[in-house]
């Protein structure tokens, strides 16, 4: 009998049984799960802190609150108390306005740059690509400081109109938000088949018509993702704002600086309440990006 006689599958089966995949996935799930739990935990802690905080002793109850004591917490809770402050209401308004203007400006810049980088080879393209990453890589404080120094070289009228004024809030937010919008738009255009544009050119389109009639409609979801990303980045911007715009109440104060100012005067409850307002805004933006934005692009 030959030594090399093949072993039957039946007899080989038990000896070569494939190990279970459960430990592998358990390991991945544990590592990932810890981080997810940490994120959920810190948000829940904020909510628990606000819900568990005591009522203000000097709170004046409305007639409605007196009639419906079980709902009195709706009118007397840290968020409601924070919203009652004039300077916090101002910072919410300025945040909403500045983030929206920054988002529009970011899209105006990100769409053409993203398209150029995605579709065309030109001298200095790689250098331009690297420069566009600088705002993402630089420490935020350094961006603020650099903006401050840049405006030292600007004419006096321009410096006085921008630095420590509302335009400085928008410019500081724009510097970082736009870099993220550019990356998103570039990835969006990378995913759109350039052959469609080529067909449009043969059908009689100019470059501009092919871009506006074929490429831009396809890029809508990516644009929404870029916009929400820019908006969320702007809302969370703090370092450059503090240096370049300052944190003057009722002037250049936005939500992130409100948290800082409330903490600095020891009002932890108001700081957490404003943080929760920011969390709510971030969640709304995330939902918009997830539901209507591009599913291929991460936010």
Partner 1 sequence: MISIRGLTVRAGSFQLQDVTLEVPTGGCAALMGKTGSGKTTLLEAVTGLKPIISGTIVLDGVDVTRRKPAERSIGYVPQDGALFAGMSVRDQLAFALTIRRRSRQEIDARVGELAAMLEITDLLNRTTVGLSGGERQRVALGRALAFHPQTLCLDEPLSALDDLTRSQMYRLLLQVRQQTHVTTLHVTHSLAEAHQLADQVYRIENGQVTAAD
Determine the Cα–Cα distance for residues 207 and 25; give it in Å rounded to an integer: 50
Confirm or reject binding of residue 38 to partner 1 (CB under 8 A): no
What distances in angstroms separate CA 168 from CA 205, 214, 217, 246, one per listed residue?
41, 37, 33, 9
Least CB distance from residue 155 to partner 1, whole Å? 44
Instruction: Tell me which of 14, 123, 204, 266 binds partner 1, using CB under 8 A.
Output: 204
- Nearer to partner 1 by Cβ, of 196 and 296: the residue is 196
> Any contact of residue 218 with partner 1 (CB under 8 A)?
yes
**Comparison of 46 and 218: residue with beta carbon closer to partner 1:** 218
CA distances, 248 to each of 8, 252, 257 (Å): 82, 5, 9
What residues contact 45, with CB distance under 8 A and at least 6 apart?
none
Altogether, the residues listed in the chain come to a count of 299
195 binds partner 1 (CB under 8 A): yes
Instruction: Tell me how far apart the alpha carbons of residues 207 and 197 are, in angstroms, rounded to a whole number.
Output: 8
How much is the CA Rg of the chain, to the nearest whole Å?
Answer: 27
Residue 206 contacts partner 1 per CB under 8 A: yes
Q: Which of 72, 205, 263, 288 binds partner 1 (CB under 8 A)?
A: 205
Residue 91 contacts residue 254 (beta carbons within 8 Å): yes
Q: Site size for partner 1, by CB under 8 A? A: 17
Stretch of 98-106, 120-128, 179-187, 197-205 contacting partner 1, by CB under 8 A: 197-205
Should residue 200 be labelled a site residue for partner 1 when binding is judged by CB under 8 A?
A: yes
Decide: is 185 part of the binding site for partner 1 (CB under 8 A).
no
Q: How far is the CB of 109 from partner 1 (least distance, A)?
A: 25
The enclosing H or E element of 81 equals: helix 78-83
Residues that bind partner 1 (CB under 8 A): 193, 195-196, 198-206, 209, 213-214, 217-218
């Amino acid at each position: 009998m030959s030594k090399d006689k093949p072993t039957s599958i039946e007899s080989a089966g038990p000896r070569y049984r494939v190990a279970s995949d459960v430990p592998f996935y358990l390991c991945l799930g544990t590592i990932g799960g810890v981080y997810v739990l940490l994120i959920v935990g810190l948000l829940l802690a904020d909510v628990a802190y606000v819900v568990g905080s005591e009522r203000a002793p000097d709170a004046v109850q409305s007639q409605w609150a007196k009639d419906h004591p079980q709902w009195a917490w709706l009118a007397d809770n840290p968020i409601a108390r924070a919203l009652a402050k004039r300077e916090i209401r101002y910072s919410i308004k300025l945040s909403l306005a500045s983030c929206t203007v920054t988002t529009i400006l970011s899209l105006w810049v990100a769409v053409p740059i993203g398209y150029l980088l995605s579709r065309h080879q030109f001298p200095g393209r790689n250098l331009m690509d690297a420069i566009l990453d600088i705002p993402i890589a630089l420490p935020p404080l350094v961006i603020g400081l650099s903006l401050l120094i840049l405006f030292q070289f600007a004419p006096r009228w321009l410096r006085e109109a921008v630095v420590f004024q509302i335009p400085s809030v928008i410019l500081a937010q724009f510097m970082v938000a736009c870099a993220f919008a550019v990356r998103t738009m570039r990835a969006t255009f990378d995913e759109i088949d350039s052959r469609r544009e080529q067909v449009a050119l043969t059908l009689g389109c100019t470059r501009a018509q092919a871009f506006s009639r074929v490429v831009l409609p396809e890029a809508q979801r990516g644009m929404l993702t870029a916009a929400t990303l820019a908006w969320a980045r702007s809302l969370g911007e703090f370092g450059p704002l503090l240096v370049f715009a300052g944190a003057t109440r009722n002037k250049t104060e936005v939500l992130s600086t409100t948290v800082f100012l409330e903490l600095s005067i020891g009002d932890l409850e108001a700081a957490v309440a404003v943080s929760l307002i920011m969390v709510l805004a971030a969640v709304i933006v995330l939902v918009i990006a997830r539901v209507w934005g591009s599913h291929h692009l991460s936010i």
